[in-house]
């Protein structure tokens, strides 16, 4: 996934209720880079079209009409359709921190740590299946995190294992959850059922303050835990080098300490996500925090945050526009 080669990232807020010309333009923009990424191991390394569609029909059938429409907008080609299924894609590794805070106003808060040149930077508002969804796009229709108008919010972080198996890229599973679920119980059941190709932690929060984290791994059913915080390992650290490079243990310890503090406020939590060690300045190593996102299920609002700057979006007031973020010791807008 190589989109741009710079230490800045243009974030864009885009709205299109049903798949059409706007999504088609996004696909055309990103497809050359995604095509290189998808074929990095050669065409034979990716599954044929029929297994892709069969897997989608078996595990996430509600997405099929949208998938077929998007494949048509993408040109109707075999390779494009296989890519859009996100079934058995190439492996990819992120960092990230996330926490569900079930306070008076429930909050799902996350940092996304990844190379700037590999992130789309698209905040996408849709109503593809009748339910409105706002989220940060990945693989053109998957999501890194997001919220729906029923007040369900989800976020992903890498689970700390290098093993790869048969399953979907997890951004599409997040899209599926937000398109089909209203409450945490239904979302976690779906996350536990749908197979994924790599290990990820997905944290879920609904407007009632019900939360959970699902530890997902290839070849296994998702492990549903009533855990409010996740970084980049699951029950224990299994990839020591990655753990040291990302400070996953230290970040999780801090998150748990804050959650155990009965006096903690949402403002204090948000401030902590914009400071080390939760916030990362390691942009040169591809581990910098590209954005923080605060999802408010009770308000249907998403605040996108950088040190010294914020951009609020909601179902009631979604503003199409863009922000150019320059990364360094303290990201700035231009």
- How open is the CA angle 299-23-167, to the nearest 5 degrees? 80
Domains of the chain as residue ranges with CATH: 91-321 (3.60.60.10)
* 330, 10 Cβ separation under 8 angstroms: no
* 140, 34 Cβ separation under 8 angstroms: yes
Instruction: Say whether the peptide bond before residue 277 is cis (omega within 30 degrees of 0).
Output: yes
Bridge partner list, 84: none
Integer angstrom CA distances of residue 329 from 81, 247, 332: 40, 18, 9
| pLDDT per residue as tens digits for the range 165-192 | 999 999 999 999 999 999 999 999 999 9
What pLDDT does residue 92 have?
84
What pLDDT does residue 333 have?
66
* 222, 192 Cβ separation under 8 angstroms: yes
* 305, 108 Cβ separation under 8 angstroms: no
The list of the chain residues with pLDDT below 70 reads 1-6, 329-334
In eight-state DSSP terms, residue 244 is H
Give the span between the Cα atoms of 133 and 150, in whole angstroms. 9
What pLDDT does residue 189 have?
98
Give the span between the Cα atoms of 201 and 189, in whole angstroms. 14
What pLDDT does residue 332 have?
65
Take residue 156 and report the two structure tokens written for it. 């992903």
What pLDDT does residue 7 have?
84
| pLDDT per residue as tens digits for the range 241-265 | 888 888 899 999 999 999 999 999 9
Give the span between the Cα atoms of 265 and 269, in whole angstroms. 6
Provide the CA 205 distance to its chain's centre, in angstroms: 14
- How open is the CA angle 29-30-36, to the nearest 5 degrees? 130
> Could you tell me where the beta strands, DSSP code E, fall in 255-315?
289-296, 301-306, 309-314
Greatest Cα pair distance, the chain, in angstroms, is 55
* 120, 4 Cβ separation under 8 angstroms: no
């Amino acid at each position: 996934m190589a989109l741009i080669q710079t230490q800045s990232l243009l974030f864009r807020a885009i709205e299109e209720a049903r798949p059409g010309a706007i999504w088609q333009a996004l696909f055309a923009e990103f497809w050359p880079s995604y095509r290189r990424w998808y074929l990095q191991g050669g065409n034979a390394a990716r599954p044929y079209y029929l297994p892709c569609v069969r897997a989608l029909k078996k595990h996430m059938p509600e997405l099929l009409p949208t998938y077929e429409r998007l494949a048509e907008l993408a040109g109707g080609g075999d390779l494009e359709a296989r890519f859009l299924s996100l079934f058995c894609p190439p492996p990819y590794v992120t960092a990230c921190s996330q926490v569900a805070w079930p306070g008076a106003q429930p909050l799902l808060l996350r940092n996304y740590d990844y190379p700037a040149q590999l992130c789309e930077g698209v905040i996408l508002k849709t109503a593809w299946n009748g339910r409105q969804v706002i989220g940060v796009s990945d693989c053109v229709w998957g999501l890194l995190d997001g919220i729906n108008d029923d007040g369900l919010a989800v976020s992903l972080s890498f689970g700390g294992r290098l093993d790869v198996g048969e399953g979907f890229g997890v951004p599409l599973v997040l899209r599926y959850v937000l398109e089909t679920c209203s409450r945490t119980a239904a979302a976690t059941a779906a996350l536990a059922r749908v197979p994924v190709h790599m290990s990820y932690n997905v944290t879920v929060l609904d407007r009632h303050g019900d939360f959970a984290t699902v530890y997902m791994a290839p070849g296994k059913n998702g492990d549903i835990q009533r855990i409010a915080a996740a970084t980049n390992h699951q029950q224990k650290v299994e990839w020591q080098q990655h753990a040291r490079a990302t400070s996953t243990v230290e970040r999780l310890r801090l998150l748990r300490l804050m959650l155990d503090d009965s006096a903690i406020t949402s403002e204090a939590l948000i401030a902590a996500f914009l400071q080390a060690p939760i916030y990362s300045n390691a942009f040169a190593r591809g581990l910098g925090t590209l954005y923080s996102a605060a999802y408010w299920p009770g308000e249907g609002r998403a605040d996108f945050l950088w040190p010294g700057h914020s951009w609020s979006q909601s179902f009631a007031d979604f503003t199409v526009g863009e922000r150019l973020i320059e990364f360094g010791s303290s990201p700035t807008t231009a």
